[in-house]
Amino acid sequence: MNKLLVLSLLATLGACSSKQGEVVADGAENYERYCAGCHNPGPGHGGTMLLAEKGAPVPSLIGRKDLDYDYLHSVVRQGLIEMPPFRPTELSDTEIKQIYDHIMAQKLPPAKAQPAKNKTP
């Protein structure tokens, strides 16, 4: 009986937390909107191409294992050479964290997961 009460209470709380009709962008959407154009894998993405030129083993953000949140956060806030900074009115700290979590949760398609190995030993 008690269990049922707790369950229905949780269900009610869940229903309250998302206002009806309001679409809240999550990490995936914000990544697509603000970062993907420059940072998706493959040619035609400025950030990816520049990082590839600099010799990054994984030039896209997705698929990186070495990105830490504090670094990503400071790059997003301050910009980095060619990359424009984002103000808190454009992306909140929470949204940056969600973008980071989204990036870390993604995997590169298998064909692109390997760094290019053109050189024969």
Question: Which residues would be at the binding site for ligand HEC (CB under 6 A)?
Answer: 34-35, 37-39, 46-47, 50-51, 56, 61, 67, 72, 75-76, 80-84, 86, 99
CB of 54 to ligand HEC, least distance (A): 6
CB of 120 to ligand HEC, least distance (A): 27
CA-CA distance, 48 to 36, in Å (whole number)? 10
Q: Where do the H-state alpha helices sit in the chain?
A: 2-17, 27-30, 36-39, 46-53, 69-78, 93-105, 110-113
Q: What is the DSSP letter of 85?
A: P
Q: Under 8 Å CB-to-CB from 79, ≥6 apart: which residues? A: 85
CA-CA distance, 97 to 67, in Å (whole number)? 12
Instruction: Considering the complex, state which of residue 14 and residue 70 has its C-beta at the smaller distance from ligand HEC.
Output: 70
CB of 99 to ligand HEC, least distance (A): 5
Encoded amino acid at 4, one letter: L
Instruction: Considering the complex, state which of residue 63 and residue 99 has its C-beta at the smaller distance from ligand HEC.
Output: 99
Instruction: Considering the complex, state which of residue 18 and residue 71 has its C-beta at the smaller distance from ligand HEC.
Output: 71
Instruction: Considering the complex, state which of residue 46 and residue 109 has its C-beta at the smaller distance from ligand HEC.
Output: 46
CB of 34 to ligand HEC, least distance (A): 4
